[in-house]
Structure 1
Amino acid sequence: MSGTSGTTTAPIAIADLPQIRAHTPHRIAEALATRTPGRLPAPGERLMIIAADHPARGSLGAGPDAMAMADRTDLLGRITDALARPGVHGFLGTADLIEDLALLGALEGKLVFGSMNRGGLPGAVFEADDRFTGYDARGIAEAGLAGGKMLLRVAPAESGTAETLERCANAVNELADRELVSMVEPFWSYVENGRLRNDLSPEAVIRSIAVASGLGRTSARTWLKLPAVAEPERVMAATTMPSLILGGEVPEDPDAALASWQATLACPNVLGLVIGRTLLYPPNGDVGAAVDAATALL
């Protein structure tokens, strides 16, 4: 996979990235500053965003392979393949991946969202205290990104939830001050066998939407990133916020996942899809075909 940086027409390969980072790291900022950004959707337009912020939380599994995302060269190849497909509008990830992709030229004309809180590591005693260890609002603005994404798992039995709520509200404020989108991904969560789990019942998703919608001193630039669950019309009636539908774990039945996304996309406040492992690691290995099937829904 190769592309061009913002300052040279010479192609950059994934294998070149360590040497660039070691010897000419200024090229990262140059690539971000000179790339052509994407635009937010016009009325009636739908978005397809590729997501890959899972590794920063140590979540490397996809389907049956617990280390599927461990090979960074393979991961970057899959992402660049996905971003090159027709109908793909953008990318969501942490700074390491965004910077690599900018150098490769894969983010030209794309909307890019920076992932902000990745500190709630799976299985950790502090998982519900989901610290902002990724982008902050200043970094998102300086990198020329469209906005920031934050994970908000509301776990009433976990005291760390209070800190996460406050930090997410602060991030909404700081992004709004810079006229940037806050993409909030809420879940109502509980602990089971020492792991934080998400309740995907319609009632729990509606409750999480209500909490996320009220964060910050303004919601003018708040979007929601939500799972596709049963009774999508009732769930989406819980908010006036623009919403994007996430993909979740790699499904055993891709056709069932597509049908679920399609049903939720029928709701008028759903702007599109933000899909990661489901498209990057499809059961048959064909990233392009998986992305094309999803974009066809739009």
Structure 2
Amino acid sequence: MITDKRWRELLATRTADPGAVARAYAGRRRRTEPPGASGTLFLVAADHPARGALGVGERPLAMADRRDLLERLLVALDHPAVDGLLATPDVVEELLLLDALHGKVVIGSMNRGGLAGADWEIDDRFTAYSAAAIAERGLDGGKMLLRLVDSDPGTVPTLQACADAVSGLAGHGLMAMVEPLPYRREPDGRLRLAGDAAALTRAVTVASGLGVTSAHTWLKLPAPEEDVPLNATTLPVVVLGGVPAADPAADLASWGRALRHPAVRGLVVGRALLYPPDGDVGAAVDAAAKVLTAAREES
């Protein structure tokens, strides 16, 4: 928990000592081995607020309370199975100032300009970390969202920007985590994730070919019901949490099935672990960690 005193100190630092952020980046103790060197990778994700996606279940502003979000993240990061964090600069820097990221993998979220529900959502501009900034600040890689909508020309600049980011990160020897998600535009204008095997497989092959090299590329995918999308790549894959199911056991079962595939190396989960129905973040993280461990032991 963040005490009232520590919270006031954080707010005061943000106001009076902006240079503390640069010092915190420089002073972060990094892991000596690259992400995934142990064979698995388990990250907690908290980049949703930066594109205006604040809701969890029936709570439209669940992620809006920053102190509450940070407290949940501190609980998750304290679990020994959690390797680190995927987040935008604001969240990363708050946790740096709270001394919570020493020895952790930190992946910077890069494109958040496709605001949730906006008319231009698919034209997902890079509004957070750049490849150069990730390298300069000593982070371990960058993540980009690539929503593919054949009927929306906003897909094209997003494709190009993601390709450039993959190349830029690879030039620094850093992980590029690409999240390719195929979407379809419904007659009412709303976007719907195309979760069928054919659409997801196509997205996997498109994402795998981005940039001047795929040597440092990882893919972040929803857990597929079939192995077809996972069979379409040799790149390391992490399973994303997505929109939490009403029954957390259903999420765990879905992740467990995907984790048994040899291409899948771990989990990157946000809301499903940070905002479980019973409010017990520690128990939710522990359950996911056990699923990951069991799957790797069986594979």
Contact 2:149 2:184 in 1 (8 A): yes
The answer as to 2:28 corresponding to 1:16 is: no
Alignment of 1:127-146 (within 5 A): 127-146=121-140
Q: The residue matched to 2:58 in structure 1 has which SS?
A: coil
Give 1:40 deviation, angstroms: 2.6
Q: Tell me the residue number matched to 2:89.
A: 95
* Structure 2 CA distance for aligned equivalents of residues 54 and 264 of structure 1: 23
Note the alpha carbon deviations across 1:22-57, whole angstroms, 9 max, x for none: 111111111111111233356562111000100000
Alignment of 1:101-250 (within 5 A): 101-192=95-186, 193-231=188-226, 233-250=227-244
Q: The residue matched to 2:287 in structure 1 has which SS?
A: helix
* Structure 2 CA distance for aligned equivalents of residues 79 and 276 of structure 1: 9
Moved more, 96-105 or 184-193: 184-193
Taking structure 1 as the reference length, what is the TM-score of the superposition?
A: 0.94
Q: The residue matched to 2:255 in structure 1 has which SS?
A: helix
Moved more, 199-208 or 95-104: 199-208
Segments of structure 2 that go 5 or more residues without pairing to the other structure are 293-299
Give 1:125 deviation, angstroms: 1.4
Taking structure 2 as the reference length, what is the TM-score of the superposition?
A: 0.94
Q: The residue matched to 2:166 in structure 1 has which SS?
A: helix
Aligned residues: 290
* Structure 2 CA distance for aligned equivalents of residues 245 and 289 of structure 1: 19
Q: Tell me the residue number matched to 1:6.
A: none
Contact 2:45 2:269 in 1 (8 A): yes
* Structure 2 CA distance for aligned equivalents of residues 94 and 217 of structure 1: 25
Give 1:269 deviation, angstroms: 1.4
* Structure 2 CA distance for aligned equivalents of residues 203 and 44 of structure 1: 32
The answer as to 2:70 corresponding to 1:82 is: no
Amino acid at match of 2:84: G
Q: Tell me the residue number matched to 1:68.
A: 62
Give RMSD over aligned pairs: 1.6
The answer as to 2:34 corresponding to 1:50 is: no
Give 1:195 deviation, angstroms: 2.5
Contact 2:35 2:140 in 1 (8 A): no
* Structure 2 CA distance for aligned equivalents of residues 248 and 36 of structure 1: 30
* Structure 1 CA distance for aligned equivalents of residues 15 and 39 of structure 2: 41
Give 1:123 deviation, angstroms: 1.7
Contact 2:122 2:149 in 1 (8 A): yes
Alignment identity in percent?
A: 53
Q: Tell me the residue number matched to 2:26.
A: 33
Contact 2:85 2:105 in 1 (8 A): yes
Segments of structure 1 that go 5 or more residues without pairing to the other structure are 4-11
